[in-house]
């Protein structure tokens, strides 16, 4: 089942389009990453789907419910709010109770305690939010998102501003929630986090989804050139001229005396390159293709669009 389906979503502020025909489908059970530069429109998107702001045009639905029944959609969705805007004079449990009542969700003490436990705040319910560390506040806002047991969670930068250990804890909680069956849309500027946690991901650029898929699918789509890490030992220096005679269109970056990065058009060049190096008298210790990370793909994508070129020159 489709957990979220969005078609041609537009949002203009004045004459300026922020969302410009955004299409997106998230399947039930997915942990889905949503990435884009500052100001790309990620929060605007979340605010529209969660009913905080109005779209300019387009359509969306969640778990079979259309926008016509926005109240039903709101029951299905949980949003992790900004941790810095919580009522800090309240005790954590009272805060959740209050927010549950506002959401018409169960505010039963046992339920609230079990929510606190599920986010690692078992013994903190009676403490005032003001005394919480930022990491604890993030956990509490995750608990807030879970009020009413929503099927679809929107987590907008849940680990921003956290130290690595606290970020890891939140990441583990997110993974656990997904394994328990929650469908999750996660935004983050930590692309490594998205790469590690998410089944599929979308790159938002200029108000549209420019790429979408699993990391493997995005890698296949983006891997237009191959980068090889070559480690070797050679008595005679290997010059750029020599390398260009072996493979004319090669781009070369010498990393150390014994290691270089070569970029070429296809992996098929590797046998010829290796045998030529051996013939030259070099001992080749390894030729390793470098796998593209989400960060590589992200920069490739936005650079292509910004320079208006069809294909980025990825020379080193
Ligand atoms: N109420 C508003 N009026 C006018 N422009 C707005 C308004 N809200 C947001 N914007 C603009 O819309 C664009 C998208 O903002 P949005 O917060 O959705 O981006 P984002 O991708 O979430 O960014 P970030 O990663 O920095 O959180 C930005 O240029 C922002 O300045």
**pLDDT tens-digit map of 43-100:** 999 999 999 999 999 999 999 999 888 989 999 999 997 767 778 899 999 999 999 9
3-state SS class at 259: strand
The packing angle between helices 215-222 and 294-307, to 10°, is: 50
Residues 6+ away with beta carbon under 8 Å from 94: none
3-state SS class at 12: strand
Q: CA 116 to CA 69: how far, in whole Å?
A: 31
**Pick from 32, 29, 8: nearest CA to 20:** 8
**Pick from 262, 186, 238, 196: nearest CA to 4:** 186
Distance (angstroms) between ligand 1 centre and the Cα of 54 equals 14
Q: CA 305 to CA 191: how far, in whole Å?
A: 19
Token digits of residue 22: 């955004």
3-state SS class at 39: coil
Burial of 314 per CB tally in 10 Å (0-12, 13-18, 19+): middle
CA angle in degrees (0–180, nearest 5) for 158-10-24? 55
Residue 117 host element (H or E) = helix 109-118
The values of phi and psi at residue 94, to 5°, are: -65, -35
Strands (E), 54-116: 57-62, 65-66, 77-80
Report which ligand 1 atom has the smallest distance to the Cα of 46: 18
**Hey, whose CA ends up nearest to atom 30 of ligand 1?**
39
Q: Could you tell which of 11, 13, 47, 49 is best to mutate to test the pocket of ligand 1, judged by most ligand atoms within 8 Å of the CB? A: 13
Global confidence as pTM: 0.83
**Hey, whose CA ends up nearest to atom 7 of ligand 1?**
13
**Pick from 301, 181, 24, 81: nearest CA to 33:** 24
Average pLDDT (135-155) is 95
Share of the chain above pLDDT 70, in %: 94
Per-residue pLDDT band for 133 (boundaries 50, 70, 90) equals very high
**Pick from 154, 144, 314: nearest CA to 227:** 314
Residue 47 CB–ligand 1 contact under 6 Å: no
- What confidence tens digit (pLDDT) does each residue in 117-126 have? 999 999 999 9
pLDDT higher than 80, residue 224: no
Show the domains of the chain with their CATH numbers: 2-213 (3.40.50.300), 224-289 (3.30.70)
The values of phi and psi at residue 236, to 5°, are: -85, 135
Determine the length of the chain: 316
DSSP state for residue 269 in the 8-state scheme? G
Distance (angstroms) between ligand 1 centre and the Cα of 45 equals 10
pLDDT higher than 90, residue 303: no
**Pick from 315, 312, 260, 265: nearest CA to 288:** 260
Residue 44 CB–ligand 1 contact under 6 Å: yes
Q: What is the four-CA torsion angle of 174, 162, 79, 94, rounded to 10 degrees?
A: 100
ipTM of predicted assembly, 2 dp = 0.96
Residue 36 CB–ligand 1 contact under 6 Å: yes
Per-residue pLDDT band for 313 (boundaries 50, 70, 90) equals very low
């Amino acid at each position: 089942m489709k957990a979220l389906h969005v078609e041609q979503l537009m949002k203009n502020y004045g004459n300026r389009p922020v969302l410009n025909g955004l299409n997106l489908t998230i399947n039930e059970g997915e942990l889905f990453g949503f990435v884009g530069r500052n100001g790309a429109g990620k929060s605007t998107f979340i605010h529209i789907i969660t009913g905080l702001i109005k779209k300019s045009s387009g359509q969306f639905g969640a778990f079979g419910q259309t926008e016509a029944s926005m109240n039903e959609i709101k029951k299905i969705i949980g949003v992790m709010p900004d941790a810095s805007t919580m009522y800090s004079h309240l005790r954590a449990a009272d805060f959740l109770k209050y927010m549950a009542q506002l959401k018409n969700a169960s505010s039963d003490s046992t339920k609230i305690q079990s929510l606190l436990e599920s986010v690692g705040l078992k013994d903190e319910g009676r403490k005032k939010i003001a005394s919480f560390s930022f990491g604890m506040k993030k956990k509490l806002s995750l608990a807030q998102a879970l009020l009413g047991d929503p099927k679809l969670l929107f987590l907008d930068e849940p680990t921003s501003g956290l130290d690595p250990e606290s970020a890891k804890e939140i990441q583990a909680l997110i993974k656990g929630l997904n394994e328990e069956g929650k469908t999750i849309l996660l935004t983050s500027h930590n692309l490594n986090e998205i790469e590690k946690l998410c089944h599929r991901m979308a790159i938002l650029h200029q108000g549209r989804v420019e790429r979408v898929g699993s990391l493997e699918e995005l890698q296949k789509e983006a891997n237009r050139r191959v980068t090889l890490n070559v480690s070797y030992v050679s008595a005679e220096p290997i010059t750029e001229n020599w390398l260009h005679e072996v493979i004319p269109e090669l781009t070369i970056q010498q990393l150390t005396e014994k290691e270089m990065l070569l970029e070429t058009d296809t992996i098929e060049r590797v046998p010829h390159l290796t045998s030529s190096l051996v013939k030259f008298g070099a001992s080749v210790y390894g030729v390793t293709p470098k796998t593209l990370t989400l960060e590589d793909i992200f920069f490739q994508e936005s650079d292509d669009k910004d320079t208006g070129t069809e294909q980025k020159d990825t020379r080193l």
